[in-house]
Structure 1
């Protein structure tokens, strides 16, 4: 009885701003200020009230002693004195939110919804969702809707499986990088034994997961034999995974023989995938890529590529050039050529532009007019006729006569061919 009375005094005293809390083995607790050195040994726990009353407890009766902050003491006082009603618990939960007492807030929100099950703000704060007229924890509600939690997001089980498979594949891909890096280093190590071992290692690769590492360390090598080894390794891997690397090499390699080797390495059963990539590259902003795509399509394409080829007979590309800053003196032809004061580009420069050899534009300086003339950079549109596209178009359609670069006539003729009216 005496302990219970003292407990009440300690719990409700308004003067107390912080306290040591003695958790009793019987399940209760006492709050007060600990007194250091009050007991000659550790056999007793001593607390003192704000009024100066000292309470000694036998250590065997106490399971734990801990200190609570002034804020928690204020909360404990409020929690023990509020009426057990929905509005009172909501008010205290809001006070807890403002004072960042998360666990304490949740305690009162749970009590609140026992009084008011459809209290939407409390339910939202608890993370509950209404599903089929029933309030459920978010995880359970999403599970019933067919979602699972993966990396902090709700996804379908199919999406989760795909992401897990993608993550597993990425681990396998990354595992190849140190091996390929090592073997690529051996190729240039100057030790013939290591070089031969590296070549043998590459020749044995048949895992598509190795392709990203092979691309990284071999595809852009300055050594043509190394790039040949890269193509041979990709061919040995085969399948759909090999198509992208071979198409890229046929488009991007600086060596014409290497581009042809990559293109010739694409097998007939890989043609549909390769055609898709070449057709996509027809929309490149670089004319040289458009023309190389025409070469590729001439080998791998079927008649499904004809409309795209017709639309790419002439493609427009932008170039930045420097011109004299003379208002009203610049003129641009429909083909994209330009002149200053009526003059045109030098014939050799114009030819190189039209053939796609000057991908980044040109700067033309007229020595006679250079003095005291300001120059400005302008963007021009240049229309390129693409002979490789025309060649591929004639090959695929089997046209006995050519309509040149006349897109409209080609399209009309092809439509008639498809409809059987030509």
Structure 2
């Protein structure tokens, strides 16, 4: 016997007494029937009441919960009667601990609905069933969110635009990972020096998909560390990144513009950043002028020379002289030590010490003179500051009133 889905839902938790009673037969795939149960060779028969009997193939019976196991539940269900609040509390009780064996959620659902039948304004029961009050009416939360143009994704309600962006980001990430594998394969073919190397190189040069930027950036960065690729190939990576003009390519070019040991690579990266990505380059290099490392300060200034900005002159001036803090190793001399009790002893060596060493930064001076070419105060930061201050306060007009 095949039971229609609507009939199954009708008898899922209801019995003739208005509550769940009798044995409970859990059905594979969802749902349950309640009544007197008789097991046969191939079927399980559930007597829902004196007039209705349902036969289910045993293959569809997930398990049977005996009426004895539901004794406590039946007593509480009888007490609930027509009291909406008691039905609500019983619904909570059903899913607390092991009060109701089997699919307790069905029992909870039934009593929440019963609470709403008895008191349509029972806010907690309504909320449990997924309702919200909107403009004085109880409506399904799902309907309300749909009316607001929201869509459900993984249990969360989001705007369609956000969903589209997330889906696009996931697709981009997938494409980027595919390019990682493909470019790695092509580079391996090129490095073999076989008859297919030339074709693989041409395939690499012809890549136009911006989603390949992450994979190409990785090739450039890895080759910088292990020096595994020729200068020509590494320059090819830089030019390809300059072609894409997206976030991944700009990030890689900014790093190459200051970190790459090859001056030609640094110069090529900066040239591309001048066309696209100058703001990211400046935002990255400018804080480096405050570094406790003169080498880094000068490299940053050299990079910033491609993006000179008169408005940043005071930041440049403050980096003309850098005071580095260095760790000085312990000496090998002999020290005499005196204890609190008057005892003394000899020890060799000493503790490491720190020393501050001031040094000038030629690349920074060049940068300052690029934006202020009319004067030259060398590395005298104070004179430079006074000069800039006087320029800002200077007024060439006539403040006298007309007669």
- Structure 1 length normalisation: TM-score? 0.66
Asked whether the equivalents of residues 268 and 300 of structure 1 are also in contact (C-alpha less than 8 Å), the reply is: no
In structure 2, how many angstroms separate the alpha carbons of the residues matched to 1:72 and 1:397? Answer: 91
**Deviation per residue, 1:282-310 (Å, 9 max, x gap):** 45565543321211111123324334323
Match of 1:276 in 2: 283
Q: Is the 8 A contact 2:329 2:352 kept in 1?
A: no
Q: 1:388 aligns with which of 363, 373, 376?
A: 363
What residue number does 2:168 align with? 165
Question: What are structure 2's unaligned runs of at least 5 residues?
Answer: 1-14, 99-103, 336-345, 397-403
Structure 2 match to 1:414: 388
Shift of 1:47: 9.0
Aligned equivalent of 1:219:
221
Check whether the contact 1:275–1:301 (CA below 8 A) recurs between aligned residues: no
Aligned position for 1:210: 212
User: Considering only aligned residues, what root-mean-square deviation do their CA atoms show, in Å?
Assistant: 4.2
Residues 327-374 of structure 1: per-residue CA shift (max 9 Å, x gap): xxxxxxxxxxxxxxxxxxxxxxxxxxxxxxxxxxxx524233498346
In the other structure, the counterpart of 1:174 is 177
Contact 1:184/1:218 (8 A) holds in 2: no
Aligned equivalents of 1:113, 1:409: Cα separation in 2: 82
Aligned counterparts of 1:419 and 1:197: Cα–Cα separation in 2: 65
1:31 maps to 2:45: no
Number of residue pairs aligned between Structure 1 and Structure 2: 349
CA deviation digits over 1:178-236, x for unaligned, max 9? 11101221232243x33323322222123322111012123331034232232233234
Instruction: Give 1:420 shift.
Output: 4.8
Are 1:73 and 2:75 counterparts?
Answer: no
SS in structure 2 opposite 1:299? coil
- Structure 1 residue 238: deviation in Å? 5.0
Out of 82, 86, 89, the position equivalent to 2:87 is 89
Q: Is the 8 A contact 2:217 2:249 kept in 1?
A: no
1:196–1:104 CA distance, 2 compared to 1 (3 A):
same
Distance 1:369 1:307, change over 3 A: same
In structure 1, C-alpha distance between the alignment counterparts of 2:184 and 2:292, rounded to whole Å:
33
CA distance 1:125–1:201, change in 2 (3 Å): same
Contact 1:250 1:259 in 2 (8 A): yes
The Cα shift of 1:421 comes to 4.0
Secondary structure of 2:234's partner? helix
State the alpha-carbon separation in 1 of the partners of residues 108 and 334 from structure 2: 81
In structure 2, the residue matched to 1:324 is none
Q: What is aligned with 2:373? A: 398
Deviations 1:302-325 (A, max 9, x none): 324334323433456665x3xxxx
Q: Distance in 1 between matches of 2:376 and 2:332?
A: 47
User: Does the 8 Å contact 1:249/1:262 carry over to 2?
Assistant: yes
Matches within 5 A, 1:205-284: 205-221=207-223, 222=227, 223-225=229-231, 226-237=233-244, 242-268=249-275, 270-282=277-289
Q: How far does residue 177 in structure 1 lie from its aligned partner after superposition?
A: 0.9
Residue 155 (structure 1) aligns with: 158
Q: What residue in structure 1 maps to residue 55 of structure 2? A: 62
- 2:304 corresponds, among 270, 290, 297, to 297
Question: How do 1:319-338 and structure 2 match up within 5 A?
Answer: 321=327
Q: Any idea what SS the aligned residue of 1:289 has? A: helix
* In structure 1, distance between residues paired with 2:206 and 2:83: 75
Output the CA distance in 2 between the equivalents of 1:105 and 1:80.
Answer: 12
Distance 1:391 1:121 in 2: 72
CA distance in 1, matches of 2:118, 2:246: 65
Structure 1's 243 and 120: CA in aligned 2 closer, same or farther, altered over 3 A? same
CA offset at residue 96 of structure 1?
0.9
Q: Distance in 2 between matches of 1:88 and 1:107?
A: 13
Contact 2:216 / 2:237 at 8 angstroms: preserved in 1? yes
Aligned pair partner of 2:96 in 95, 98, 118: 98
Contact 2:186 2:200 in 1 (8 A): yes
Higher relative contact order (Cα pairs below 8 Å, separated by 6+ residues): 1
